[in-house]
């Protein structure tokens, strides 16, 4: 019973949760915060009333930006009681079939009519609606619902939903990675709970979040990141529990060569340590300048009262306290970053990772050749690229160096179908391409022979039998 209650509470929206708003094919990830105005599809509202309701609940936006759960509609639709024509040959789209003007519709909104009531008014005042076929009537109603119904559905974040959201709104941020391609990456990389996975991606954290979701908080994920720090905007949108983040480690890609050479602690310092010395010098210079300014001011104002001196002493002490607190905070952050770096380095030093996933805007060949050395034999790897040519170069390089088998370079193709009675057909608009994937499996190499000479030795040619001929 306690487990059932806990599962039910997880299915309900709580304050502070990350959720996804949905209307039609449009998605947006937000966090539930009290009295915070959310703007979605040119409408603003508050999410306070959504707390306590189940996920996937559809809400109506009423006056004042308040959300109300949508009432269950009757099974009878607007067009069931209407007559339908046999075809649309006599319908002329001259713009005169609708008697209601835009001002009339705005007046209906001001009177408090909801979306369904406005749609019914539009149907009643249309002179051609009854002459349309049943399919055309359904299409008309669906189009008007999308325009006039003020509804929003709140969903629980998942890998598929967030991938569709990013691909629909900002595909450039995720290197135009489509959700079906992401699913293939998780399958080809053999991502599962309890494994150790290396991830190098520049897709706003979407691939990293998908790997963490598939692992379920068990195992370890090592994020290899370029630049000064990792980007995890997409990971935050998943809303993972705290124990999920305990399995996440980070390591800068610029220190990989030093780690492989065994010179990480001597040569690869944290960038912030190099910046610390100039900051200390600047702080000392600033302190000396402030002291000199204060000394000059004291010499000029010898006749000030003792009360002003006490105020200056208090301000000076407060400044020193703030400066010390800031320095202590920087020191703690630096120590924490160094601990994370050491923990990730110890995990990588074992060179027993179970999988490698790469999806980056950078050229994948040098990254792939460097990170493959951290994988155990007989482990899968997968590389995504929006273009084919970089992966062809990786394929050729892997064939030359050896150490991999079952290399496959594939592209993904996806097309949506409309499935309705008597009108099932492919959609007219579809995605042009989902990128390319290079996958393979590592194997142990025989280091006694050079990579170029690892060819099967051919048997010696057989001698040809000579038959004696009688002369």
For residue 303, how far is the Cα from the chain centroid?
A: 65
Q: Is the pLDDT of residue 278 over 50?
A: no
The predicted structure's pLDDT at residue 283: 52
In-domain check, residue 470: no
Looking at the structure, tell me whether residues 112 and 219 fall in a common domain. no
Looking at the structure, tell me whether residues 251 and 377 fall in a common domain. yes
The predicted structure's pLDDT at residue 11: 85
Looking at the structure, tell me whether residues 201 and 340 fall in a common domain. yes
Q: Is the pLDDT of residue 146 over 80?
A: no
Looking at the structure, tell me whether residues 217 and 361 fall in a common domain. yes
Burial of 188 (0-12, 13-18, 19+ CB in 10 A): buried
In sign, the C-alpha dihedral spanning 182, 187, 188, 193 is positive
- Per mean pLDDT, which of 62-71, 102-111, 260-269, 400-409 is the most reliable? 400-409
Share of the chain above pLDDT 90, in %: 36
In-domain check, residue 178: yes
The predicted structure's pLDDT at residue 360: 93
Q: Is the pLDDT of residue 31 over 60?
A: yes
Element (H, E) at 225: strand 220-225
Categorize the per-residue pLDDT at 79 as very low, low, confident or very high, splitting at 50, 70 and 90. very low
Higher pLDDT, 20 or 88: 20
Looking at the structure, tell me whether residues 141 and 173 fall in a common domain. no
Higher pLDDT, 406 or 456: 406
Higher pLDDT, 359 or 113: 359
The predicted structure's pLDDT at residue 258: 87
Higher pLDDT, 65 or 464: 65
The predicted structure's pLDDT at residue 190: 94
Categorize the per-residue pLDDT at 272 as very low, low, confident or very high, splitting at 50, 70 and 90. very low
Best CA proximity match to 209, nearest among 231, 184, 225? 231
In-domain check, residue 465: no
Looking at the structure, tell me whether residues 112 and 226 fall in a common domain. no
Give the pair of three-digit tokens for residue 117.
């009531």
In-domain check, residue 458: no
- Per DSSP, the three-state class of 300 is helix
In-domain check, residue 318: no
The predicted structure's pLDDT at residue 1: 47
Domain stops at, among 131, 156, 181: 156
Average pLDDT over residues 141-164: 87
The CATH number of residue 412's host domain is: 3.40.50.150
Relative to beta strand 220-225, strand 248-252 is: parallel
The CATH number of residue 41's host domain is: 3.10.330.20
Categorize the per-residue pLDDT at 462 as very low, low, confident or very high, splitting at 50, 70 and 90. low
The predicted structure's pLDDT at residue 244: 92
Angle value at C-alpha 394, between 393 and 399, nearest 5 degrees? 100
In-domain check, residue 35: yes
Higher pLDDT, 5 or 195: 195
In-domain check, residue 300: no
Instruction: Scan for tokens 């450039």, then name that residue.
Output: 172
Q: Quote the mean pLDDT of the chain.
A: 81
Distance CA 209, CA 239 (A): 10
Categorize the per-residue pLDDT at 285 as very low, low, confident or very high, splitting at 50, 70 and 90. very low
The predicted structure's pLDDT at residue 289: 44
Looking at the structure, tell me whether residues 353 and 249 fall in a common domain. yes
Looking at the structure, tell me whether residues 198 and 148 fall in a common domain. no
What does the CA dihedral 98, 104, 105, 107 come to, rounded to 10 degrees? -170
Categorize the per-residue pLDDT at 5 as very low, low, confident or very high, splitting at 50, 70 and 90. low
Looking at the structure, tell me whether residues 338 and 199 fall in a common domain. yes
Distance CA 346, CA 249 (A): 11
Which residues are CB-contacts of 61 (< 8 A; sequence separation ≥ 6)? 43, 45, 67, 150, 151, 152
For residue 462, how far is the Cα from the chain centroid?
A: 62
In-domain check, residue 69: yes
Look up residue 50 and give its DSSP letter: G
Domain that residue 344 falls in: 159-263+325-445
Looking at the structure, tell me whether residues 146 and 170 fall in a common domain. no
Say how many domains are in the chain: 2
Yes or no: say if 136 and 123 are a contact pair by the CB < 8 Å rule: no
Q: In 229-308, at which residue ranges do the beta strands (DSSP E only) sit?
A: 248-252
Looking at the structure, tell me whether residues 337 and 349 fall in a common domain. yes
Looking at the structure, tell me whether residues 145 and 208 fall in a common domain. no
Look up residue 240 and give its DSSP letter: -
The predicted structure's pLDDT at residue 82: 56
Higher pLDDT, 220 or 101: 220
Average pLDDT over residues 124-145: 80
Look up residue 127 and give its DSSP letter: S
The predicted structure's pLDDT at residue 75: 39
pLDDT digits (tens, 9 = 90+) for 165-203: 999 888 999 999 999 999 999 999 999 999 999 999 999
Instruction: Scan for tokens 């792939």, then name that residue.
Output: 368
Categorize the per-residue pLDDT at 276 as very low, low, confident or very high, splitting at 50, 70 and 90. very low
């Amino acid at each position: 019973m306690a487990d059932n209650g806990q599962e039910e509470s997880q299915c309900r929206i709580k304050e502070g949760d990350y959720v996804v708003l949905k209307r039609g094919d449009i998605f947006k990830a937000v966090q539930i915060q009290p009295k915070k105005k959310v703007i979605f599809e040119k409408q603003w509202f508050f999410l306070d009333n959504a707390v306590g309701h189940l996920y996937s609940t559809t809400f109506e936006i009423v006056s004042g930006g308040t959300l109300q759960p949508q009432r269950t509609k009757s099974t009878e639709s607007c067009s069931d009681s209407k007559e339908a024509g046999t075809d649309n040959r006599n319908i002329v789209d001259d713009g005169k079939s609708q008697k209601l003007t835009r001002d009339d519709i705005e007046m209906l909104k001001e009177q408090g009519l909801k979306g369904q009531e406005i749609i019914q008014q539009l149907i009643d005042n249309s002179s051609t609606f009854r002459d349309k076929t049943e399919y055309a009537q359904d299409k008309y109603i669906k189009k008007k619902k999308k325009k006039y119904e003020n509804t929003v559905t709140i969903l629980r974040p998942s890998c598929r939903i967030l991938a569709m959201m990013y691909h629909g709104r900002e595909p450039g941020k995720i290197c135009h990675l489509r959700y079906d391609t992401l699913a293939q990456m998780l399958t080809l990389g053999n991502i599962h709970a309890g494994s150790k996975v290396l991830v190098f991606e520049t897709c706003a954290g979407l691939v990293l979040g998908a790997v963490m979701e598939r692992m379920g908080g068990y195992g370890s994920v090592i994020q290899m990141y370029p630049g000064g720090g990792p980007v995890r905007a997409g990971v935050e949108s998943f809303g993972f529990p705290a124990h999920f983040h305990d399995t996440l480690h980070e390591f800068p890609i610029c220190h990989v060569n030093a780690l492989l050479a065994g010179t990480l602690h001597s040569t690869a310092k944290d960038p912030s340590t190099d910046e610390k010395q100039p900051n200390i010098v600047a702080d000392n210079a600033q302190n000396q300048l402030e002291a000199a300014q204060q000394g000059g001011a004291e010499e000029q104002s010898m006749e000030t009262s003792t009360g002003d001196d006490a105020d200056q002493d208090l301000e000076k002490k407060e400044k020193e306290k703030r400066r010390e607190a800031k320095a202590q905070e920087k020191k703690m952050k630096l120590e924490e970053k160094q601990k994370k770096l050491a923990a990730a380095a110890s995990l990588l030093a074992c060179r027993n990772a179970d999988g490698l996933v790469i999806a980056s805007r950078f050229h994948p060949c040098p990254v792939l050749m460097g990170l493959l050395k951290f994988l155990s034999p007989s482990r899968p790897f997968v590389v995504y690229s929006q273009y084919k040519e970089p992966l062809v170069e990786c394929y050729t390089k892997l064939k030359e160096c050896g150490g991999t088998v079952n290399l496959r370079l594939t592209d993904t193709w996806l097309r949506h179908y409309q499935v309705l009675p008597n009108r099932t057909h492919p959609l007219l608009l579809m995605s042009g391409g989902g990128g390319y994937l290079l996958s393979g499996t590592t194997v142990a190499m025989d280091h006694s022979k050079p990579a170029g000479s690892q060819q099967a030795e051919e048997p010696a040619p057989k001698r040809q039998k000579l038959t004696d001929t009688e002369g």
